[in-house]
A = this chain, B = another copy of it.
Amino acid sequence: MSDRSGTPEPGRLARWAAADVVDCDVQITVPSVEHLAPYLDQRWRDYMSESGVRSIDPAQYPKGSPLSARPGAVPEQGPPGSNLDLIRAQVLDHWQLKYAVVNCGFEISAIHNDDWALAMASAVNDWQAAQWLDPEPRLRASIVVPAQNPDYAAKEIDRIGDHPGFVQVLLPVRAEAPLGKRRYWPIYAAAERHGLAVGIYAGGVSGNPVTPVGWPSYYLEDYVGLTQAFQAQVVSLVSEGVFAKFPGLRVVLIEGGFTWLPALMWRFDKNWKGLRREVPWVSREPSSVIRDHIRLTTQPLDEPAEPRQLVETIEQLGCDDMLLFATDYPHWQFDDDEGVLPSGLSPELERAILATNAIATYRF
């Protein structure tokens, strides 16, 4: 551990320069809906101005919380994660990255008009291409889609999916339905067609109660409960046979942690043995399907007080291929640069997490 108040000590960070590190989750933000105007038809510009749409921000993690943005991450103009120069300095240069995958959590899922949702998703993607990918070759981006209408989502993936800067299709974990359901398969077919991964991120406003037992009272419950939504999506994707149908598909769970996964795999394997006749396309242990197809970003990290227990939990994943390095910038969930990765990992595993797992997952 480095001195928390000062510069990181040499050590792991110094070794990273040679490792072609990939940051698999940098969160970028559309500064305001006006910034999308150049990428929208006149119809939708008129619609938004006549309707007085100023934002579709669902106001998730309290903006005043220290975890929302690390010190210094707020640009002079606009919200954190909206300024390319700052991201160059604080992410790409600071971590000496080969690539960073940017994810724009624009809440298309909050728009109930399918045509408008598609127009806004396309605008966000064109904005990402023009404002981020074109000027900065170290960046890669995720395609935002109207997941509520999978045919429209597939249309948007077909429209922009061959742009070399896009490496992933982004779906919200709080979707309208479990993401394995057949209605979503056109999205996976389109992702496979264009060699894209599918990223599931910690967002979405579906209307479903955010816990499996109804609406809770506090944002704390919503936020802690995000991992329950990720668990449900993993179980759905495997149970529905998505990976049997799309054997090349890689799904990345973004900003959802990973320490919950070993216990889920144990339970899922056991119950599959008792109930597998219900899902005949799941022809091997669910944990084995998960290890082949599911990847998880490392931050935010739900860390135990005892670092040894985190290493145990990572070993319980049963495979070195699953974790992808991520800073979760501009969120601030670790104390210092060294804290971005668990300590006590073998150099081989560290290198897999920092670079090779991402290279196997994304098309760079």
Which residues of A from 174 to 210 have beta carbons under 8 Å from B? Answer: 174-181, 206, 208-210
Within the oligomer, what is the number of copies of this chain? 2
Q: Mark A298-323, 1 if CB is under 8 A from B, else 0.
A: 00101110000100110110000000
| A278 and B218 contact, CB distance less than 8 A | yes
How many residues from A make CB contacts under 8 Å with B? 68
**Hey, which chain B residues are within 8 Å of A66, CB to CB?**
274
Given contacts A262-B304, A266-B302, A267-B259, contact A206 B214 (CB under 8 A): yes
| A232 and B212 contact, CB distance less than 8 A | yes
**Hey, which chain B residues are within 8 Å of A208, CB to CB?**
209, 212-214
Stretch of A45-53, A115-123, A233-241 with 4 or more beta carbons under 8 angstroms from chain B: A233-241
**Hey, which chain B residues are within 8 Å of A214, CB to CB?**
175-178, 206, 208
| B266 and A259 contact, CB distance less than 8 A | yes
**Hey, which chain B residues are within 8 Å of A105, CB to CB?**
none
| B263 and A267 contact, CB distance less than 8 A | no
Minimum CB distance partner of A65 in chain B: B274
Which listed residue, B236, B275, B302, touches A267 by the CB 8 Å rule? B302
Given contacts A212-B232, A220-B279, contact A257 B267 (CB under 8 A): yes
The docked-state distance in angstroms from the alpha carbon of A271 to that of B62 is 12
Stretch of A70-78, A93-101, A221-229 with 4 or more beta carbons under 8 angstroms from chain B: A221-229
Given contacts A259-B266, A278-B218, A312-B312, contact A211 B213 (CB under 8 A): no
A178, A179, A206, A309 — most chain B CB neighbours (10 Å): A178
Given contacts A208-B214, A221-B236, A266-B304, contact A62 B275 (CB under 8 A): yes
Minimum CB distance partner of A177 in chain B: B214
| A211 and B178 contact, CB distance less than 8 A | yes
The docked-state distance in angstroms from the alpha carbon of A200 to that of B300 is 30
Minimum CB distance partner of A300 in chain B: B270
**Hey, which chain B residues are within 8 Å of A225, CB to CB?**
212, 231-232, 235
Q: A178-B213, A206-B213 are in contact. List 15 more A-B contacts (CB 8 A).
A: A66-B274, A173-B213, A175-B214, A178-B211, A178-B221, A208-B213, A212-B212, A212-B225, A212-B228, A220-B239, A220-B272, A221-B236, A224-B267, A257-B263, A262-B309
